[in-house]
Amino acid sequence: MTLTRRHRPNRSISTAIARARAGQRAAAQQAAAPTTDPQKPIRIVVADDSFLIREALTELLTPMASMDLVGAYGDGESLLTAIDAEPPDIVIVDIRMPPSGDDEGIRVARRLRKTHPDLGVIVLSQYAGPDYALALLEDGADGRGYLLKERVHDRSELFAAIHVVAQGGTTIDPSLIQDLIVADRRRRDSPLDELTPREREVLAEMAEGKSNAAIAESLVLTKRAVEKHVGAIFQKLGLEDDDVVSRRVTAVLLYLTDSRP
């Protein structure tokens, strides 16, 4: 069996977590005494495939003199088209929405880092695990925020996060900070470092002994999409066909080893 591991310790994540902690303190101060400038409001675009979330954000942001909601969209493509036409100051984007239905919010943030590096991005997620937050921070922490969707109901936290990110800072949901630190330590020497959050989810399902069809049903994906993710997992882990041990078994063993406390 031939096994090649690509090792890329990402020390920048530790720096990003430290910046997020600093952002949390700044956010707390912002929530206590927000600085507003009605003459120059923060221009905001939101994107979420949930009509209710878009409406909730619209209701929260519209009355604020320091903020100007200039667009609301239900998919990543419409969002990016609008940004290219007239860039805002901040984008608030759902973690999963069309067209990929996967980690679209992370993909948008990565693209904007290249095309509009000064544009702040706040990713809203219902997933409390650290993987998506880590993926967001891998391209740099400046002007990035990651909040759980439940924070939308706390306008002071949302407004504070918007101000911090608009100033180029970093804010991460407080409930995720400790998990981020632990996950970062594990990932530095992990053979799974290259996998996207979705690929890790697929691999976790594989570790439960599920077939591609069962994984597709569990994660609400097409079988073809699962096959594509499995192929990417094998490629990123450097796994080749072997007459004795299958790539699937080897990938699962690497996952189980990496997941041990």
One domain, residues 98 and 37: yes
Q: Which CATH number belongs to the domain containing residue 197 in this structure?
A: 1.10.10.10
Number of domains in the chain: 2
Is residue 160 domain-resident? yes
Instruction: Identify whether residues 164 and 92 lie together within a single domain.
Output: yes
Separation between Cα atoms, residue 208 and residue 255, nearest integer Å: 11
Q: Model confidence over 164-209: pLDDT tens digits? A: 899 888 888 878 877 776 666 666 666 787 888 899 999 999 988 8
Structural domain harbouring 209: 190-259
Q: Are residues 206 and 157 in the same domain?
A: no
Neighbouring CB atoms inside 10 A of 120's CB total: 28
What pLDDT, in 10s, does the model give residues 10-56?
445 555 655 565 555 555 455 444 444 446 899 999 999 999 999 98
Whether residue 176 is found in the same domain as residue 253: no
Q: What gap in Å lies between CA 232 and CA 205, rounded to an integer?
A: 15
Q: With 50 as the cut, is the pLDDT of residue 3 above it?
A: no
